[in-house]
Amino acid sequence: MKVEQRPAGSPSKEALTDKATLLTLYREMLLIRRFEEKTAEMYQAAKIGGFCHLNIGEEATIVGTISTLRPTDYVYSTYREHGHAIAKGIDPKAVMAELFGKETGTSRGRGGSMHLFSQEHRFYGGYAIVGQALPIACGSAYAINYEEKDEVVMSIFGDGATNIGAFHESLNVAKLWHLPIVFVCVNNLYGMGTAVSRASAVTEIWKKACAYDMTGERVDGMDVLAVRRITDQLVAQAREKHEPSLLECLTYRYRGHSMSDPDTYRGKDEIKEWQTRDAILSLGDYMKKQKMLDDQEIQKIDEEVTAQVEEAVKFAEESPEPDPKDLYRDVYADEVAS
Amino acid sequence: MAVKTVIEAIREGMDEEMARDESVFLIGEDVGNRGGVFLASDGLFKKYGELRVIDSPLAESCIVGVAIGAAINGMKPIAEIQFADFIAPAMNQIIEEAARFCYRTAGDFNLPMVIRAPWGGGVHGALYHSQSIEATFGHIPGLKVVVPGTPADAKGLLKAAVRDPDPVLYLEHKRTYRLVKGEVPDGDGVVPIGKADVKRQGKDLSLIAYGLMLTYCLEAAEKLAAEGVSAEVLDLRTIKPIDQAAIIATARKTGKVLVVHEDNRFAGIAAEVMAIIMENAFDALDAPVMRLTGPDVPAMPFNHVLEEAFMPNVDKILAKARELAAY
């Protein structure tokens, strides 16, 4: 699918030159990449079952956005959320254990791939139903306003969600009630197997913000620094002015919609073309040019995150299964009712 | 102790809970400036302001979704769905999220939230303003469903619902709003969720009902007494979690049970009550458990003849009760 860039263009890489920050972004993106590659491997080895959607290719949209948040800010995500959970600070071990369905997972094995959760990290969920979390995210943002806190909610979803009623209901109240929320649309050009142009009357998703008189931005979702810079502005706008916004990140998933998707609706050339713009490689190249990083250091970072992922797998494999008796736990907070 | 209507009791319950706890707020269509279409929240907008009494857009999925999010963040929302029939756009949020939030997060989160919805027929509301929804939602683990039929229970259960740690669907029968009057205790008068109530003692047979049908069953019991039949009336008050002990106790006491509701017959609450009795009090029965319910048609028609044909009423209850008494 051909993508029209927004004429205004993305903010430039030069805006961010602090080496420590760039290294963190690089490491985080690579960790998510290696985590997801290992997840695919574990799925193929039947260690992970069910339905599984990978973030591979979209790392810049994850790290570029979530890295702008404070630990006290909130993230609501979708079923393609392993990377979001890790970026929000959840230990990859707990994420992998949840993918394995183990007792030590983020939801004690009840959720699996699509339903990660952590109260402690204010990661308020993967949601398997498209568009489901947007009104809920607005509720959290409403509570922030009511309690006069300076926290921000980030609601992340795909291009497919922007055709659902809940998306429009949510943008409407966000603007109406001045909610401190940033809506992040990860536009990977396909809603499952259907191209955006065949599912959405408006293919430039950022323009949908206009209907609600809301700030709308489009950014190159393969450029982590561009994503980070614009998100930083939108988060500040939400925090300081209580003005919501819609950010569209143009990106691409290298794998199919899910692990069981044969991916027959996209050309191999299209996939290869997007891979030439890989977010991790291009940040690495940029840092090398800036003399912030060399091949040896890149190799070292890769070895470290790979070891971290291996450790997560080991932890998941060695963790116990949930007790069948726990089937009846937590139906109600008030256990008398259960 | 003063005599009040059901709608007054609901308003008073919300007012007192909002005064008691600043995290309680009300959200719904026209609940603010207008005070609600049935005036359930009349005066609360003026008293508590627009941050706590929110006139929402006409978007039910958003109303409930926002309530869930606010509850996650520690607030205690009361979301009003203007008519129970309008709840369908919000079913996704209620069933998929509210009901399973505690479960899916393995107890990390619970949702202290109330969804109020006026339900039931007999007001010429026709297809989209008359429905009963208690069986649909009673089927969903993780939700609690209450169905008060008197002013004291309306207030007491509202308070219990607001204070409950879990999502509670609070169904108020719109025909009872101003029809049913009764004494409401001063003070909190909290009525526990999950407890049925014997509204009339009897020994020959039991009528089990809730909502508007409670009033009709009490009238029928009065007439049956004149005929020499002593009818006990059990008010379920809560659909989920249902009070099994109270159901079994009345079945064992009288040996003859008639369950009455206006919701559709198939897989209705009566079917569940009958199953509970069969599983636990079969040996005490003197007659098959009977039920009088709304018919299995898609909705309540507008025309008054058709509406009357749909709704159980005192005469229909009497006829069925006589059949049971004679068995």
User: Which helix H or strand E contains A220, and what residues bound it?
Assistant: strand A215-220
HSE, CB side, 13 Å, CA atoms: give it for residue A254. Answer: 18
HSE, CB side, 13 Å, CA atoms: give it for residue A294. Answer: 1
A43 Cβ neighbours under 8 A, 6+ residues apart: A49, A52, A259
CB B74 within 8 A of CB B23: yes
Do A139 and B67 make contact, defined as CB atoms within 8 angstroms?
A: yes
Q: Which of B61, B94, B144, B240 has the highest number of chain A CBs within 10 A, making it the mutation to test binding with A?
A: B61
| pLDDT tens-digit readout, A112-161 | 999 999 999 999 999 999 999 999 999 999 999 999 999 999 999 999 99
| pLDDT tens-digit readout, A291-306 | 999 999 999 999 999 9
Strand ranges across the sheet with A74-76: A74-76, A153-158, A181-187, A245-250, A215-220
Residues of A in contact with B106 (CB under 8 A): 107-108, 110, 329-330
B76: closest chain A residue by CA? A143
Model pTM above 0.80? yes
pLDDT in the model for residue A116? 95
- Report residue B130's pLDDT band, with 50, 70 and 90 as the boundaries: very high
HSE, CB side, 13 Å, CA atoms: give it for residue B44. Answer: 31
Measured between alpha carbons, how far is B6 from B154 in angstroms, rounded to an integer?
6
Do B57 and A176 make contact, defined as CB atoms within 8 angstroms?
A: yes
- Residue A91, SS3? coil
Residue A182 has φ and ψ, to the nearest 5°, of -115, 120
Which residues of B sit within 8 Å Cβ distance of A?
A: 25, 51, 56-57, 59, 61-62, 64-75, 77, 89, 92-93, 96-97, 102-110, 141-142, 144, 164-166, 193-194, 241
CB A217 within 8 A of CB A188: no
CA distance, residue B249 to nearest chain A CA (Å): 20
- Report residue A334's pLDDT band, with 50, 70 and 90 as the boundaries: confident
CB-CB neighbours of B186 under 10 Å: 8
CB B183 within 8 A of CB B3: yes
Burial of A323 per CB tally in 10 Å (0-12, 13-18, 19+): exposed
Give the tokens for residue A32: 């998510």
What DSSP character marks residue B5?
Answer: E
- Report residue B165's pLDDT band, with 50, 70 and 90 as the boundaries: very high
A252 Cβ neighbours under 8 A, 6+ residues apart: A57, A58, A188, A189, A222, A271, A274
Do A107 and B104 make contact, defined as CB atoms within 8 angstroms?
A: yes
| Nearest by CB: A140 against B73, B92, B102 | B73
B1 Cβ neighbours under 8 A, 6+ residues apart: B183, B184, B185, B186
Whether the predicted pLDDT of A86 surpasses 50: yes
Do B73 and A134 make contact, defined as CB atoms within 8 angstroms?
A: no
Measured between alpha carbons, how far is A71 from A64 in angstroms, rounded to an integer?
15
Measured between alpha carbons, how far is B51 from B32 in angstroms, rounded to an integer?
10
pLDDT in the model for residue B1? 85
| pLDDT tens-digit readout, B30-85 | 999 999 999 999 999 999 999 999 999 999 999 999 999 999 999 999 999 999 99
Whether the predicted pLDDT of B183 surpasses 60: yes
pLDDT in the model for residue A74? 98
Whether the predicted pLDDT of A3 surpasses 60: no
Measured between alpha carbons, how far is A77 from A79 in angstroms, rounded to an integer?
7
Residues of B known to be catalytic: 129
| pLDDT tens-digit readout, B233-256 | 999 999 999 999 999 999 999 999
| pLDDT tens-digit readout, B84-94 | 999 999 999 99
Q: Helix H segments across B125-192? A: 134-138, 151-163, 176-179
pLDDT in the model for residue A15? 55
Give B198's strand partners.
B234
| pLDDT tens-digit readout, A223-282 | 999 999 999 999 999 999 999 999 999 999 999 899 888 888 998 999 999 999 999 999
- Report residue A5's pLDDT band, with 50, 70 and 90 as the boundaries: very low
Q: Which of A102, A129, A136 has the highest number of chain B CBs within 10 A, making it the mutation to test binding with B?
A: A136
Do B69 and A166 make contact, defined as CB atoms within 8 angstroms?
A: no
| Nearest by CB: B68 against A117, A136, A332 | A136
Do B65 and A332 make contact, defined as CB atoms within 8 angstroms?
A: no
Residues B52, B97, B72: CA angle, nearest 5 degrees: 45
Which residues of A sit within 8 Å Cβ distance of B?
A: 107-108, 110-111, 115, 117-119, 124-125, 127, 129, 132, 134-147, 165-166, 169-170, 172-173, 176, 329-334, 336-337
CB B294 within 8 A of CB B270: no
